[in-house]
Amino acid sequence: MQKLVTIFAIATSLAFPASAAEFGMASYYSYPHKSGLIAAHRTLPFGTQVRVTNLDNGRTAVVRIVDRGPFIRGRVIDVSIPAAAALGFRQAGVAHVRLEKL
């Protein structure tokens, strides 16, 4: 039975890689306790680094998860103001993004 579980775990990891992308809308917010390229995500562990790609203009930034959120339907990540500027959507307020866990 243990061999079967091990084989299933290996097969599952090959079929569903850990770096699967997540797609959705991003917005930005101000987090007064930390600065830099940081973000909030609902489920990723704190300290996780995520590559965020703005699908509207192709810009990318690597952010670190330090908070929980966003709490608005359809949004997958809230990034800091500097990250929104690096991704080129500070003026627009939201962007279509792809997230890749690093």
- Asked if 93 and 28 count as a contact pair (C-beta separation under 8 A), the reply is yes
User: What is the dihedral angle through the alpha carbons of 26, 32, 34, 37, rounded to the nearest 10 degrees?
Assistant: 30
Tokens coding 90: 């500070």
Q: Tell me, what's the pLDDT at 43?
A: 96
Q: Tell me, what's the pLDDT at 19?
A: 56
Q: Tell me, what's the pLDDT at 77?
A: 98
Residues 6+ apart with CB under 8 A from 26: 52, 54, 75, 76, 77, 78, 79, 84, 87, 89, 94, 95, 96, 97
Q: Distance between CA atoms of 18 and 96, rounded to whole angstroms?
A: 22
Instruction: Tell me the domain boundaries of the chain.
Output: 18-101
Per CATH, domain 18-101 is 3.30.300.130: no
What's the whole-model pTM score?
0.79
Other beta carbons within 10 angstroms of residue 74's beta carbon come to 9
Average pLDDT of 42-69? 97
> Does the pLDDT value for residue 63 go beyond 80?
yes
